[in-house]
Amino acid sequence: MPAKTALDADARGGTGEAVGPLLRGVGVLRRLTEAGGTLSPSALERTTGLARSTVDRITATLARMGYVRLDGRDVVLTPGVMELGNAYLAALRLPALLGARADALADELDDELDESVSLAVADLDGIRFVHQATRRRAMSVSFRIGDLLPAERTAPGPLFATEWTPREWTRWHARRAADPADTAFPAVPPGPVPTGDSAFPARVERARRDGWAVDDQLIEPGLVAVSVPVRDPATGRPACVASVVSHTSRHSAAGLRGSLLPRLRTAAAAMECDLRTAPPPRPGPPPAGLASWTTASKHELGRDFVESLARGLTVPAAYGEGRSALSLTEVARATGLARATARRALLTHEHLGLVLAHPDRTFTLTPRVLDLGFPPLSRSTLPRLAEPHLRALADRLQEPTALAVLTADGTEIQYTAGADTRRVLTVHIAVGARLPAAATSLGRVLLADTASPLPPALAQVRDQGYALVDEELESGLRSLAVPVRDRSGRAVTALNVATHTARRSLRDCLQDVLPALRATADRIQTDLHTASRFGRVPPS
């Protein structure tokens, strides 16, 4: 099918009640995800087959929702889009219930073998990662939460395939015949394509007999893994699969099985116990009126705002912990949409594979929701999340901004990100540079978050929520800093603005700079809290 008509044809196919703008908007998010999070509007025009005016309206709507930002000539995914995947992962509950066990196993192996541990779920005839406990080393596993891999080229795949029906095997054969090069799996590294589909059914039978499976360099040369199922206590089917992944420079597939399979089985048994004994979820109040803001945006932006796209994308946000299966009435109530509108949105999501309808007339999210922006953002660092906000603040105030963390001994700060301005007289400190913590506003904000008792000066910083250093580090230099806190409320980094005494008085710093600084810290915190809900965001 010619690219120019691909998404339009998809809008007409499958169901006559599909919402065309929602189909096209999801297509744009998927193309951005496949490209690593950034594409120009012209590249989106080519890859989606949509008219440039349509691309512009979709990206303007996604920007209004906080899912993308327009950065010069590029459209860039933002952490806000991870709210869609977070809704699926919260409804799934497996990362929350089992993630700590996977992390503990990775930490145990880190002490001796330094290997990564992952949890994956089935996604049609593929497997998709929902948790990763990776090791920080020069050669480490680069798969991300949300990455999709073909079942036949993984260790978890044969374990899930032991439960496949004849219809599912037929679908697998059809997919292999239509896409032998695995082009539908963007996370698969380029390289030689394995041949011989007959090998996979044999691997499935071995997995059925043994209760475990291995991947001996099927995805990429040098990559090996061993996997065991974690079974749902209610059905006996694999709820997920736990894997230990290594490299042939450290283990052969046989060696990995021999040295790590017993510990992996012990961890999986503990995970199954966790599933059996987990209390029912305690959801908060169900959301209501999630789409109520869209009408006001339509009135403000006019035709540049695609209201049906925005309304449709609020549907996944109706889900969460304790809200894994929702009826049409519950979706309509949570979103504030009319039943007819909510029904068409659900049918569209079902057509796209994002929602599954059940005989009891409820709908659940599928792992495909993670296709919408999650993988390229799930490995973000805090400096990467903060950089666009730093640039915006520097442009607004025409003063340099910076981000820093405390060193391990707490005596120095290390700069991790910054944004300069075009001034003759300015402050420029390179990323990676260190300064004494006690002499800087950044350091004082971070030191004020340490355990009590604090010296009076740091106690005052903690109480007021900012630090102002006036010509203490260098003559003529004033610096104002505020903390950036993680989901637990701990200050993990600090944000500052530096200026010259001739440009801003102390009063100006408090009246003009401090509110803008705090607003920027709030935006960084919002992105950090979204990105770190089901994954780790390194502070540097």
| pLDDT for position 13 | 43
At 104, which helix (H) or strand (E)? helix 94-112
Sort 245 into a burial class: Cβ within 10 Å, 0-12 / 13-18 / 19+.
buried
Nearest to 291 by CA among 312, 322, 260: 312
- Pairing between β-strand 213-216 and β-strand 148-150 as defined by DSSP bridges: unpaired
- State how far the alpha carbon of 173 is from the alpha carbons of 123, 178, 227, 267, 367, in Å: 16, 9, 23, 33, 21
On the question of pLDDT at 112 being above 70, the answer is: no
On the question of pLDDT at 507 being above 90, the answer is: no
CA gap 65, 313 in Å, rounded: 9
The DSSP symbol for 422 reads S
Provide the percentage of residues in the chain whose pLDDT is more than 90: 74
Query: Mean of the per-residue pLDDT values for the chain?
Result: 90
Residue 140 banded pLDDT, cuts 50, 70, 90: low
Q: 478 has which bridge partners?
A: 470, 499
pTM: 0.92
Lowest mean pLDDT among 346-350, 354-358, 506-510: 506-510
Lowest mean pLDDT among 256-265, 472-481, 493-502: 472-481
| pLDDT for position 72 | 87
pLDDT in tens, 71-98: 989 999 999 999 999 999 999 999 999 9
Q: 116 has which bridge partners?
A: 245
CA gap 60, 58 in Å, rounded: 5
| pLDDT for position 173 | 94
Lateral strand order in the sheet of 116-123 = 148-150, 126-133, 116-123, 238-247, 223-231, 213-216
pLDDT in tens, 286-297: 889 999 999 999
Lowest mean pLDDT among 51-65, 215-229, 389-403, 415-429: 415-429
- Under 8 Å between Cβ of 393 and 517: yes
For residues 313-342, give the mean pLDDT: 96
97: left (phi over 0), alpha (psi -120 to 50) or beta: alpha
For residues 475-482, give the mean pLDDT: 86
Backbone angles phi, psi at 496, to 5 degrees: -135, 165
For residues 333-345, give the mean pLDDT: 96
CA atoms within 13 A on the CB side of 355: 30
On the question of pLDDT at 206 being above 70, the answer is: yes
